[in-house]
Amino acid sequence: MEHRSYEELVAEAVAAPTEGWDFSWFEGRATEERPSWGYAGLMGERLAAVDSALDLHTGGGEVLNLAPKLPPLMAATEGWPPNVTKASRLLAPRGVVVVASPDDAPLPFADATFDLVTARHPVKAHFTEIARVLRPGGTYFAQHVGPSSVFEVVEYFLGPQPEEVRGGRDPQGEVAEARAAGLDLVDLRAERLRIEFYDIGAVVHFLRKVVWMVPGFTAEAYEPRLRALHARIEREGPFVAHSTRHLIEARKP
C-alpha cells in the first residue's frame, strides 16, 4: 500500500459522508470483530414469525432491510432527520412505515400494538415505553452497546473518564430496568470485541460518524492528538480498541 500523508488521510476522511449505518468505507482501513450470536440473522428469524413489529433507532434502515421476510405490520423509528429520509427510501418499497421520533420521546404508538420490538444499538432502551407498546406475550429483542465501549479511543482524546461514565450501559442495570417495567428476561449474552484502526483517516471517520464518542469532535480541534496518533500507528501498527456488546431478550407476560 502506498504511503499516504497525514493531510491526505484526514482530508479524505473529512470529505466522506457519514449518514446511515453503512460502514463499507472502513474496508481495509479498520476491522471490528463481530459478536458470535449474529444479531441480524436472529432478528430476521423473529421478524418472519410475527404479525407486527417495531424497529427502534433504525438508522438508515440497513440492518432491518437485511431481514428476508417482514411482518404485515412493520414500523421503524429514527431520530436523526438525514437517516429518516434514508430509511424511508430504503424501506418504503417493503411496506415499512418509518416514523421520525426523537430518541428520548415517548413512542408514537398505541398500547399493545406490536408482537416484537427490535433495536440494534439504541441510544438508550426506554423499557417502560417498550413494555407499553408490546402486546401481552410480546418480545423485546435487541443488541445493545455495553459499558466502556471503544474507551481506548475516547480516553486517548478526552483523558481518563469517571467511573459512572465508564460503567454506563451496564447489562445488569438494563435487566433491572426491563424487570421494573414488567418484562421477564429470556436471554442475556455479553462479549468484548477487538477493533483495529489501520490509519488515522479511519479514526477521524469513526469519530465523525459515531458523534457521541468525542462530543464536538473535529479534525482541526484535535489536530495535535491526531498527529501524534498518526505517528504512533506508522511506528507501531494498528491502534487497538475494544467494543462491548450484549444481546438482550425480554418478554411481556
Quick one: which of 64, 103, 101, 60 has its CA closest to 83?
A: 60
DSSP code, position 101: -
- Scanning the chain, the segments in alpha helix (DSSP H) are 6-15, 39-48, 62-65, 81-91, 127-133, 151-158, 163-166, 171-180, 200-209, 223-236
Bridge partners, residue 134, by sequence:
114
Strand pairing partners for 143? 120, 247
Are 125 and 242 in contact by the 8 Å Cβ rule? The answer is: no
Q: How far apart are CA 52 and CA 33, in angstroms?
A: 32
Place of cell 475494544: 242
Taking phi first (over 0 means left), then psi (-120 to 50 degrees means alpha), and beta for anything else, what does residue 97 get? Answer: beta
CA–CA distance, 14 with 112 (Å, rounded to integer): 44
CATH 3.40.50.150 describes domain 6-251: yes
How many whole angstroms from its chain centre is CA 236? 29
Residue 43 pLDDT: 98
pLDDT tens by residue, 60-85: 999 999 999 999 999 999 998 999 99
The tens place of each residue's pLDDT in the chain, 253 residues long, gives 568 999 999 999 999 888 766 678 899 999 999 999 999 999 999 999 999 999 999 999 999 999 999 999 999 999 989 999 999 999 999 999 999 999 889 999 999 999 999 999 998 999 999 999 999 999 999 999 999 999 999 999 999 999 888 888 899 999 999 999 999 999 999 999 999 999 999 999 999 988 889 999 999 999 999 999 999 999 999 999 999 999 999 999 9
* pLDDT for res 113: 98
Instruction: Name the DSSP class of 136.
Output: E
pTM of the model: 0.87
